[in-house]
Amino acid sequence: QVQLVESGGGLVQAGGSLRLSCAASGRTFSRYAMGWFRQAPGKEREFVAAINWSGGNGDYADSVKGRFTIYRDNAKNTVYLRMNSLRPEDTAVYYCAAARTDSSRYFVQRTEYDYWGQGTQVTVSS
């Protein structure tokens, strides 16, 4: 069982930056691929970024490529999402997720994840 707790959300002006953190419980954090998803009001939850267990591989949604960076610190059981050049359309609740894996894969589909955090609100004003 893994519990995930996100933090770092808030209100920021367009063009600003935020760093989200997701702290995981348990001693086997390095056995999980991690991901960030977001959900805006009235929309489906969508993929944002993913990273494999070692942090050596990952992927991003086209809408955030070049602006967001996902990285992890396995010693701290934490995955981060650095968000730069924020836009009003980035406004959403951001969720982190964990997927059990014995491989070096990362995952981009919601259904591939086993555990979810409670979410943190990010609001970007124009």
DSSP class per residue in 62-105: TTTTTTEEEEEEGGGTEEEEEE-S--GGG-EEEEEEEEE-SSS-
Which pLDDT value is given to residue 93?
98
Specify the pLDDT at position 27: 74
The pLDDT value given to residue 30: 86
Per-residue pLDDT of the chain (126 residues; tens, 9 = 90+): 899 999 999 999 999 999 999 999 977 888 999 999 999 999 999 999 999 999 999 999 999 999 999 999 999 999 999 999 999 999 999 999 999 998 999 999 999 999 999 999 999 999
C-alpha distances in Å from residue 64, one per residue of 11, 27, 31, 55: 18, 31, 26, 18
Q: What is the pLDDT of residue 26?
A: 79
Q: Minimal CA–CA distance to 29: which of 84, 69, 60, 73?
A: 73
Measured between alpha carbons, how far is 67 from 77 in angstroms, rounded to an integer?
A: 24
Residue (of 122, 123, 115, 124) closest to 5 by Cα position: 115
Report strand pairing: 120-125 vs 10-13: parallel
* Closest C-alpha to 87, from 14, 33, 25: 14
